[in-house]
Chain A
Amino acid sequence: MKRKHRRLSFVALALLALGAAVALVMAAFEENIVFFFSPTEMGQKEVDPTQRLRLGGLVEEGSITKAADGVTVQFVVTDTVNTIPVEFRGILPDLFREGQGVVCEGRLINGVFKADEVLAKHDENYMPPEVAQALKDAEHWKEKMQDSKAE
């Protein structure tokens, strides 16, 4: 094979690989992208109960309860304006607590968010950027900060 041909076939192969990758990525994105909503946004949108979503905000103070089976936990996620009740079966992360930022992943079924994953962070001072944004959007971010500092 001549050098020119070889280079050409190399480029063709690379393009083929890239094309296949793009096709793979597009197909995978189509099905597996998870949108993030704040409680306010989730209330406004028509949400398909089969669609996986992320819900982020603060865990409302005093909202954590256990269902009769002892394993299912219910709590309320708030952006200080609107709230969404959440249900989760399993052991919550160590840093999960009332008043802290949280991100839940799952589905919204009949107004209740059935989470199969709850993410709290490794670090107490960390606020997930989406949650911070959601709170900012709710225009309560600054007050909240002052409150927590005053405490």
Chain B
Amino acid sequence: MIVELGHFALVLGFVIAIVQGTVPLVGAANGNNRWMALAGPASLGQLLCVTVAFAALTYAYLVSDFSVLNVIQNSHTSKPTLYKVSGVWGNHEGSMLLWVLILALFGYAVALFGRNLPKSLKSRVLGVQALVTVGFYLFILLTSNPFDRVMSPPIDGESLNPMLQDPGLAFHPPFLYLGYVGFSISFSFAIAALLEGRVDAAWARWVRPWALAAWSFLTVGIVLGSWWAYYELGWGGWWFWDPVENASFLPWLAGTALLHSAIVAEKRDTMKSWTIFLAIMAFSLSLLGTFLVRSGVLTSVHAFATDPSRGVFILILLIITIGGSFALFAWRGPSIKSGGLFKPVSREGGLLVNNLLLTTATFVVLLGTLYPLFIDALELGKVSVGAPFFEAAFIPIMIPLVVVMAAGPFMSWKRADLKVTLRKLALTFVLFALAVAGTLYARPDSTFLAAFGIGLAVWLGFGTLTEFAGRIKLFKAPLGESLRRLGQMPRASWGMSIAHFSLAIGIVGMVGASSWKIESIQVMKPGDTVDVSGYTYTFDGVRDVMGPNYSALRGSFTVTRDGETIVTLRPEKRVYTVSKQPTTEAGIHTMFSGDLYAVVGDPSGDEGGFVTRLYFNPLVVWMWIGTVFMVLGGVISLTDRRLRVGTPKKKAAEGAK
């Protein structure tokens, strides 16, 4: 009964979405206030309906209702409660329902927080948002209904893929989707602005918080996925440039560009059609990412069983959304007048370079990801494009980006003095050179690129600190004055400094983990010791342990350095009871200098030996710390007063005309 209620609520939500996607748009075109006013309540109605649907499915999972096909395929009574809940979105149908729930959630958030939006703009945004949602309702109801029942329910379910029964991955999809779907709001704003034929500073100010929120969520989602791959796959790697990973990275790159161009559009009233273009791009790439993951057209280490008919449906949805919005952009875009002029050397100029580089990087990653598809379609053979390609093509674009990133914040709007900027960065440059030389001296085995990478991190980190200190006149004014300035600094500036500085920390981790990783594979019998990067691993043997729904072989390694015991690592090889599927749980000990990482493999030889894989992964934790602070920067920037207070009444009144 509850399941049918959920299904019914979903259909009801679909009907409301159709109304919300038509009436307010027509109303906005004709200036009919009552028609426009429908958008807000409709978005609330949609949210309620989808929440009921989602709650109904979650309920079916919690009580293990095995008359529902989706529950049979992805749940089991013995599964811990957390994974019963995460099982709701750990499969195709449920994850699409989550997608629609988040679409509705964001839609209602616009209605709620957008009280001071001009009426016509607001109703158009909500209308466009509803149209996007309609596509996904149709997708669920026609091809991926999670509420399908079976005639004769089995006694127990088939359980969730054990790979997904993990805390990191339980929350990975919701955050990723909050990011993907968050960009639907900036997309809806962009389409609404094109329909309005008006883009002003106020528009950019409304768009930026949504883009910022989406970007922060997406960052969390990507990092959770990367972290999961790091400890769960047991390969010691954190990014494989796999198509599925790239699919989430593409909207992130475009979204990062959007965040920066929206600043220019707001402050300087220029680069406006470019901002609209990026808003459309960011969401289009989110859709493309969904298509790539859900259709299974690309070979990926992260791929799951897929259904081609769904791929075709998403492809059609993709073509309509992207094609339609770019056609609209081509038609209405040229009428958007650009505002403030600027010199090449200026804040705008710096942000422009940022945008060009980020879009170029997006283009390169997109090309590398889709290239196998093109080659296949042209019947030129089957190829794969892996990490070496992306490293060769992506890193050279990131280097100038980081270089400009340290300099940009020093430059003033409109026109900046290059000499003054460079003078302010003189000390930073010296430190950069010292860092490169120091790295090469301390680690003679480093490649030049690795040393240069550490240098760049220092360049960016110290450059950001210098700019921050200059802003509060540290050491140039009395301390009281500096503190006063610190207190008055807008949250957005805090956010910028923190986010930029956190990237510097992250770069240290990325360079360390990819350049100085030490790997050792061998057969170890109990009592054997192996040295990895100055740490001595002693294999103590294995024993059997039981988990709630798996049995595991748990290895034990005592790690010592200079005779002192540091930690005992306990990697596991699990076999899940229901699916008989094995998984690997690496044993990891995190330190600032690097991670001790051990994996136990299959038995080998007659004397109780096991294949073991030991790693020293230098500086990995810096990467996680960097990303945590990056998100923090985004969140702090989001709390800026400017974004909360909204626009002056005058502008709002103007927009309402």
Q: Which residues of A contact B (CB under 8 A)?
A: 1, 3, 6, 9-10, 13-14, 17-18, 20-21, 24-25, 27-29, 31-37, 54, 66, 69-71, 89-92, 94-95, 103, 105, 119, 121-126, 128-130, 133
Contact = CB atoms under 8 A, between A and B. Distances in A.
Given A31-B392, A69-B523, A91-B611, A130 B299 contact: yes
Interface residues of B, number: 58
Given A54-B382, A126-B296, 7 more contacts: A18-B363, A24-B364, A28-B389, A31-B392, A32-B386, A122-B161, A122-B301
B521 A3 contact: no
Contacts, number: 140
B648 interface: no
Contacts of B364: 21, 24-25
Given A3-B341, A24-B392, A103-B299, A70 B604 contact: yes
Contacts of B298: 129
Given A69-B523, A95-B581, A123-B304, A21 B363 contact: yes
Contact of B371 (A13, A29, A31, A129): A29
A90 B613 contact: yes
Nearest to A134: B382
Contacts of B304: 121-123, 126
B609 A24 contact: no
> Which DSSP category, helix, strand, loop or mixed, fits chain B's interface?
mixed
B352 A71 contact: no
Contacts of A133: 382
B393 interface: yes
24 contacts: A1-B344, A17-B356, A18-B360, A18-B363, A24-B392, A24-B393, A27-B392, A28-B393, A29-B385, A29-B389, A32-B388, A33-B385, A66-B604, A69-B523, A70-B604, A91-B611, A119-B299, A121-B301, A122-B301, A122-B303, A122-B304, A123-B163, A123-B303, A129-B299
B522 A71 contact: yes
Contacts of A89: 521
Contacts of A37: 382
A70 B582 CA distance: 21
A6 B389 CA distance: 34
B523 A71 contact: yes
Contact of A36 (B163, B234, B382): B382
A36 B384 contact: yes
B393 A91 contact: no
A94 to B, nearest CB: 4
Contacts of A14: 356
A67 B297 CA distance: 36
B289 interface: no
A129 B297 contact: yes
A68 B120 CA distance: 75
Nearest to B600: A91
Contacts of B521: 71, 89-91
Given A70-B609, A91-B601, A17 B360 contact: yes
Nearest to B380: A35
B584 A36 contact: no
